[in-house]
């Protein structure tokens, strides 16, 4: 049996619930390509899935392999594949779990060629954060010039892209981040940065048309007080928003979906310097469990990426 490394979730729980194990290598099915993974992005969804926090939104049959985005080289193609060939450098979201493995079978439609200017590590940081930021920004409706938008968790991978997209759309961008990260968030285009470890954002923010909640918890609960009368909160962090939205308010739970055309445009913008994408840390495969836990316990700047070659 041909085996590969994979990060496997055996049961819901803390860091000990995931193990690096040898599993049987997959094959490419109809419309799929087999990707030799060179790098994969670490995401907040990893620990939320691990702990069972989103088990209702993402029901799983355990054990399962974690990881949702990757970059690598096409090793083989399945029947019906028309655009990709063995040897192509590709990136994309898994369209589910399973990216933390040496070989991954991925639907061809979820993958893009990596621009020459981007490394595997650069590319692995893009598929989830860049697309989720774009899609969540537009989820509640078109963005208008002058619209007041608050990005919660603006220094992270999602937040960093959302700040840039909102600024490019002509919005007035408010953002929350740790004080030590405030200058970085300003460099992305935020007009007003509130250091949430120094002050409460409610003291200086009001009449917000759209809150992008990438944090959840108490930050989400407090955000209702800063909304304009017809404002809306879009949360990627808390599925519970659907049940906890106050009467007369509008709260939406967002889950991103693969969009190869949009991702290609974003990747070209990053490659040409029109968008910033920050990789804050690169870790080895055996450091993945600890990296996922750091994502849970420490505010992130940009993305952490696992480099399979280290």
Query: pLDDT band for position 89 (50/70/90)?
Result: very high
pLDDT the model gives residue 127: 96
pTM value is: 0.94
Tens digits of residue pLDDT in 178-233: 999 999 999 999 999 999 999 999 999 999 999 999 998 899 999 999 999 999 99
Q: What is the DSSP letter of 79?
A: T
Token couple for 310? 């280290």
Mean pLDDT calculated for residue range 136-157? 95
pLDDT the model gives residue 1: 67
- Identify which has the larger pLDDT, 195 or 58: 195
Query: DSSP for 242-305?
Result: HHHPPTT-EEEE------HHHHHHHHHHHHTTSS---EEEEE-GGGHHHHHHHHHHS--SBEEE
pLDDT the model gives residue 55: 83
Q: Assess whether pLDDT exceeds 80 at residue 172.
A: yes
Mean pLDDT calculated for residue range 114-142? 96
Contact yes or no for 121/39 (Cβ under 8 A): yes
- Cis check: omega of the bond before 69, within 30 degrees of 0: no
Q: Assess whether pLDDT exceeds 90 at residue 306.
A: yes
Q: Assess whether pLDDT exceeds 90 at residue 137.
A: yes
Cα–Cα distance, 48 to 9 (Å, whole number): 12
Q: Provide, rounded to the nearest whole percent, the portion of the chain with pLDDT above 90.
A: 90
The overall average pLDDT reported for the chain is: 95
Mean pLDDT calculated for residue range 37-42? 98
pLDDT the model gives residue 122: 98
Q: How many other C-beta atoms are found inside a 10 Å radius of the C-beta of residue 37?
A: 26
Cα–Cα distance, 136 to 156 (Å, whole number): 15
Phi/psi at 261 (5° precision):
-65, -45
SS3 6: strand
SS3 309: coil
Q: Assess whether pLDDT exceeds 90 at residue 54.
A: no
Q: Assess whether pLDDT exceeds 80 at residue 57.
A: no
């Amino acid at each position: 049996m041909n085996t590969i490394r994979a990060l496997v979730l055996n049961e819901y729980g803390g860091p000990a619930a995931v193990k690096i194990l040898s599993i049987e290598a997959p094959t490419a099915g109809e419309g799929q390509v087999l990707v030799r993974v060179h790098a994969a992005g670490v995401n907040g969804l990893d620990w939320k899935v691990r702990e069972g926090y989103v088990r209702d939104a993402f029901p799983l049959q355990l054990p399962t392999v974690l990881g949702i985005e990757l970059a690598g080289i096409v090793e083989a193609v399945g029947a019906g594949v028309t655009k990709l060939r063995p040897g192509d450098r590709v990136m994309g979201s898994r369209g589910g779990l399973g990216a933390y493995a040496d070989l991954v079978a991925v639907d061809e439609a979820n993958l893009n060629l990596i621009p020459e200017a981007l490394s595997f590590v650069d590319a692995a940081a893009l598929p989830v954060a860049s697309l989720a930021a774009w899609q969540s920004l537009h989820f509640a409706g078109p963005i208008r010039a002058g619209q007041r938008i608050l990005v919660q968790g603006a220094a992270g991978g999602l937040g960093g892209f959302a700040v840039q997209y909102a600024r490019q759309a002509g919005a007035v961008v408010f953002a929350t981040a740790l004080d030590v990260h405030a200058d970085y968030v300003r460099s992305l285009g935020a007009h007003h940065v509130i250091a949430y470890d120094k002050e409460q954002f409610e003291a200086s923010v009001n009449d917000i048309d759209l809150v992008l909640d990438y944090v959840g918890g108490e930050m989400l609960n407090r955000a209702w007080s800063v909304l304009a009368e017809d404002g809306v909160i879009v949360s990627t962090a808390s599925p519970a928003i659907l049940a906890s939205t106050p009467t007369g308010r509008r709260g939406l739970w967002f889950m991103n979906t693969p969009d190869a055309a949009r991702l290609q445009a974003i990747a070209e913008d990053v490659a040409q310097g029109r968008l910033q994408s920050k990789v804050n840390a690169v870790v080895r495969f055996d450091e993945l469990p600890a990296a996922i836990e750091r994502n849970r316990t420490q505010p992130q700047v940009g993305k952490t990426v696992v480099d399979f070659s280290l």
